[in-house]
Amino acid sequence: MAHLLSNAIRNSIRKRECFFSVSDLNPFVHEWKIKVKILRKFYLYETLELILVDEKGQKIHAVINKEYEDRRTSKIVEGNWISITNFDLVPVTGAFRPVPHRFKIVWNSGTTIKDIRPLCSAEFFSFVAFEDIKSGSLDPTLCVDLIGRVVRVGNGRESGPPASDWNELFLELENEEGERLQCRLPNEYSNAFFNEWRNCLDNIIICVLRFARLEVTRDFWRATTVYTCTRILLNYRCVEVTRMRDVFYDRREADD
């Protein structure tokens, strides 16, 4: 009898500690529990939005409506790992799709979160090739990650050198293969980018656009921002940026 009770207790503990992969999530099963890293935290109008990723690299969009914001959600920090239990899942609809997952997490009155230790140190970038963007082969409703060397900053509609009071900026990125891609930064991003770029002392500036949107005009594809979801990083400390900077430094030394 004691042996049976012991097994029952162990099974109960295993059940309570069972966490699932983001790829397994669907609306047809309840009482999901996940461990995820917070890649992005931003507001879409009055709704708090998150982009989450598990240790396998599977990403999902999460929504916290205003009535469920509280002291705990206000302390959510980008880059931290958390566990989430008791949430709803709904199909993704509309034109805004930051990640490919078919469903998104929606907070309810019983949703709980808890800070946990990091499960890994990965940044979970999903960089796409410039060639795939310019060929139009990618789904423009999905956000993408981009990386490239900043080779030009300007605005064809303005005269003179770049200025912080422009309504939008255009920058040109170059990848390791020498391909170039134009990116458009609207007013919400242009001033902050301009100030950081202008004060960057490094001769080689590597730019990362995380969760950028693709747009096309007369068969000309470029990247831009989407709401306040996009994040722009200059000479960010990560493996991919370090490797690209080394490539361009080596080429500069060879040319000299």
Q: Give the CATH number, domain containing residue 172.
A: 2.40.50.140
Q: With 60 as the cut, is the pLDDT of residue 225 above it?
A: yes
**Mean pLDDT in residue range 212-234:** 95
Tally of structural domains, the chain = 2
Domain C-terminal end among 115, 146, 178: 115
Give the rounded percent of residues in the chain with a pLDDT score beyond 90: 70
Domain ranges, residue 80: 18-115
Distance CA(63)–CA(43), nearest Å, equals 10
Contact 144, 100 (CB under 8 A): no
Is residue 171 domain-resident? yes
Distance set, CA 185 to CA 78, 133, 210, 215 (Å): 22, 17, 13, 12
| CA 253 to chain CA mean position, Å | 34
Average pLDDT over residues 30-57: 94
Residue 231 inside a domain? The answer is: yes
Please state the pTM of the whole predicted model: 0.86
